[in-house]
Structure 1
């Protein structure tokens, strides 16, 4: 009598069946996100995360956690053009980074036609401050911090008056943007920025969540739930405005 033995799959044999494809998807999800299931369903809110260091014109070492501005700019353009997306939720946990790249991201967020809310978790330092205040409404976690300090210049520095004039003009660009998109006064911002004795090896101030709200940098203390609620409220307001203020 002939026996039929089921052939075992070879180690390098490609997965073909529906169960195999499902298993492969789960494995990919675990490897990429560290979880076995991802939230399903489409949303009218686009969530953008800015973490680590904002990478600008120079590529940072591979061990640095970075957010590349050339990745964010096309996403923001696509969000603006997509009619299904009605609001943008930006989550920040950044140490800062390239000044021009950070200002470019901040300007794009500020000029979006759709409601935007930013949430500072952990930290929104250096050039992360203009990004944090660029939205329609900003929230900071109670334990989060924001470091405000003058601009630095890396690389070759030519010791001529024009170098210092360039730094001063760039500094004014940052100050002007922050003051025009938040409630903090220019005098208070400069006081925090040029304060000595606060940071051990630097000049500037580290502002904790409650103080950031007190100084007028950020609108409110809160978390993810507060940010989503505020964004949904602003989306609903825009819907009512576009429909002539009539609520069915």
Structure 2
């Protein structure tokens, strides 16, 4: 009986040793799996190109979400996510310029103006490019950059400021709307080549939009009206941004 007990004890002692590094390896593998799963969920692919760049790419996609949270089925860009990114770009010495990619239907007016004002006040070179659409409050964000581009097939809808939900029908409400509208008009005319008169004309034009007043501007027309600087794609936008960065560093002789 004692020999059997001794053998059991010896078997327990002689069991394979646990490698202290294995739990860490297992944790690393789990982290990799979690990162891969997250990439698939967010980007639709298992990996993204990793590149050390002096240019930061900021995207304004879907609806600009302001103080009210949009329904979960809406594609949104939250302004509380965008504003810290702009601050980080301004402070990071490794980032020398920023390109803003827009494909937005518009959204919250004050949130959009806040983003536009921050882009316009940056000390580093900025370039924007409208792909697909830069509608409504996306117009001030597009023109806020130092140089703006629009794809040939992209559109921009210019229309008056609108409110959704419960509206109190008193004169003060309409005065507030008019003041907000004036803020948008002044900002756009100050940061683009369109005049206030022309922008108001585009904003209040009738007969162009089926269920609204305003104007749907496509590609070259946006440049013709002075809203956007040039027609071009991502390569044109990045080439211009790199040229502006080199000029700001004094690498281009005047």
TM range (shorter): 0.7 to 0.9
Distance in 2 of aligned mates of 1:172 and 1:18: 55
Shift of 1:33: 1.8
Query: Number of paired residues?
Result: 232
Whether 1:70 and 2:83 are equivalent positions in the alignment is no
Unaligned runs of 5+ in 2: 1-22
Shift of 1:223: 0.8
Moved more, 16-25 or 103-112: 16-25
Please list the CA deviations of residues 57-110 of structure 1 after superposition, one character each: whole Å capped at 9, or x if unmatched: 111111111001011111111111110100011000000000000000000000
Please list the CA deviations of residues 177-219 of structure 1 after superposition, one character each: whole Å capped at 9, or x if unmatched: 0000000111111111101111111000100011000101000
> Does the C-alpha gap of structure 1 residues 110 and 65 become closer, same or farther in structure 2, counting only changes over 3 Å?
same
Partner of 1:99: 109
Larger Rg: 2
Q: Secondary structure of 2:202's match?
A: helix
Please list the CA deviations of residues 217-242 of structure 1 after superposition, one character each: whole Å capped at 9, or x if unmatched: 0000111111111110000001117x
Larger relative helix fraction: 2
Partner of 1:10: none
Q: 1:159 aligns with which of 158, 163, 169?
A: 169
Cα RMSD for the two superposed structures: 2.1
> Does the C-alpha gap of structure 1 residues 246 and 187 become closer, same or farther in structure 2, counting only changes over 3 Å?
closer
Partner of 1:84: 94
Partner of 1:195: 205
Whether 1:45 and 2:52 are equivalent positions in the alignment is no
> Does the C-alpha gap of structure 1 residues 193 and 81 become closer, same or farther in structure 2, counting only changes over 3 Å?
same
Distance in 2 of aligned mates of 1:173 and 1:88: 25
Partner of 2:8: none
Please list the CA deviations of residues 121-150 of structure 1 after superposition, one character each: whole Å capped at 9, or x if unmatched: 000000000000000000000000000000
Partner of 1:234: 244
Q: Secondary structure of 2:74's match?
A: coil
